[in-house]
Amino acid sequence: MDHAHASAPTPAANQHNQAVLDALSRCIAACELCATACLQEEDVQMMVPCIRLDRDCADICRLTAAFIARGSDHARHVLRECIEICRKCGEECGQHQHDHCQQCAAACRACVEACEAY
């Protein structure tokens, strides 16, 4: 049986993949840190939307990274969802003055930019 194999990615493609994978990784870390810190806030109920989006964002970033890393034909579909959720998470976190929320918002914005450039 003859199997067709895709050609090896070019160094530029590898760098491009690595840039988006790095942004996704930073976003995952920032979202997880933010969610954990939000649970320690005095008014946790007020932070519930932020916590939920942090968790959703970290999860979709993990999934997106896996699809990109393995070269899935469906990576673009997952990327679109990732961009939407990261954008919403960044907007939510950006409304809060806590350092962890501001850092998360910045990581989400950077992730959106990297994913859109992919």
Q: Positive or negative, the Cα torsion across 88, 90, 29, 98?
A: negative
Reported CATH class of domain 17-117? mainly alpha
| Mean predicted confidence (pLDDT) in 33-48 | 96
pTM over 0.85: yes
Q: Give whole-number Cα distances, 63 to 39, 68, 98, in Å.
A: 24, 9, 27
Torsion (CA) 11, 28, 59, 65 in degrees, nearest 10: 0
| Mean predicted confidence (pLDDT) in 52-66 | 99
Domain-wise residue ranges, the chain: 17-117
Q: pLDDT over 70 for what percent of the chain?
A: 89
Task: Work out the widest C-alpha separation in the chain, in whole angstroms.
Answer: 63
The span from the CA of 33 to the CA of 92, in Å, is 15
The span from the CA of 26 to the CA of 62, in Å, is 11
Q: Which of these, 118, 116, 93, 114, lies nearest to 23 by C-alpha position? A: 114
Q: Which of these, 99, 101, 92, 31, lies nearest to 65 by C-alpha position? A: 31
Q: pLDDT tier at 15 (50, 70, 90 boundaries)?
A: confident
| Mean predicted confidence (pLDDT) in 32-56 | 97
